[in-house]
Amino acid sequence: MGTGTLHIDLDALAANWRALDAHTGCETAAVVKADAYGLGVAPAAKALARAGARRFFVATAEEGATLRKALGEGPEINVFSGHMATDTDPIRDARLTPMLNDAAQVTRHRAALPDAPYGIQLDSGMNRLGMEPADWAALRAEAEAGPLTLVMSHLACADEPDHPHNTEQLRQFTEMTAGVTVPRSLSATGGILLGPAYHFDLTRPGIGLYGGLPFAEASPVVRLSLPVIQLREVAPGEHVGYGCTFTATRPTRIATVSAGYADGLIRAMSGKARLFWGDTPCPLAGRVSMDLLTVDVTDLPEIPEALDILCPTQTVDDLAEAAGTIGYEILTSLGPRYSGRYTGRAA
């Protein structure tokens, strides 16, 4: 094949959900926004539902409608962006539950779909989405009078356990939701790991399901294998790739591999990332280009047919560190040209 193969282990995905669920004594939902972090929302959500997830979160109503087609009736699908001006039809038709973020959304939803359930998102100190304390105080009676199903907020620094903003947001959320009779939710993956005080009635893991930090115990979910298109011998003093940023200091064997920044392997990892042949690292030689990588395979005992850039030896966070970014960006940037191969019970 001329394109890479993205291997996705649905059993590992389900195992990560069960492991995070075991950290809590409350309900555990699953965040599957951005096409399940780039891994394919239909197979991922089906595997998570099989594992026991009954509530799912997406970013937009359009994502929710796609997810409903995959899951069918039963699971609750919550929409972080709330009820936007053009969302009434998909919310009604796909039976979505919007997380309403301000007075305008509350008015819109209650007028357009008065009997349809909704949640409320509060701003406990992130200043991104949700109602601030004064807004919530003014709207609370109206919001609680309808079919309210959830009150939630989101932590800004949960991946830094000692950050003082965690306790400040916990205090703010606790105060804002005192007396609320519906379920409350504050924590995604990082919040789950902060301990029971942050769990409330529902947690919403995302990145930890897919093998990313801060859930260090996560099982690897993805393996990305890239085919070698061509091998060449490079003499000392010769250069490789755009800008001649790699110069051979010894007789060097270069493998040209089919993938590049058009496939989500961002240019910032140029000259820093490694690919693997089994457990043997092979350094990236020169710049990442649109469709190709050049890799130093001089020390391999045989000619490789493919090299792995994501594997148990190099996780999404390892690769992200080389690129100066985070595992979220690596996962969600993986391009559409890869051939996806699913293994596991929901495959």
Q: Which residues does the annotation mark as catalytic? A: 33, 242
How long a stretch of residues is the chain?
Answer: 347
CB 309 within 8 Å of CB 269? no
278: Cβ contacts below 8 Å, ≥ 6 apart: none
Quick one: DSSP state of residue 5?
E
CA dist., res. 219 & res. 194, Å (int): 20
Tokens 């709207």 locate to: 139
Helical ranges in 239-281 per DSSP H: none
Q: Residue 186: count other Cβ atoms within 10 Å of its Cβ.
A: 29
DSSP string across 127-193: -SSSB-HHHHHHHHHHHHHS-EEEEE---SSTTSTT-HHHHHHHHHHHHHTTT--S-EE--SHHHHH
Calpha distance 292→213 (Å, rounded): 28
Residues 6+ apart with CB under 8 A from 172: 124, 125, 133, 153
Answer yes or no: are the C-beta atoms of 248 and 237 closer than 8 Å: yes
Is the four-CA dihedral 34, 39, 41, 44 of positive or negative sign? negative
Q: How far apart are CA 312 and CA 285, in angstroms?
A: 22
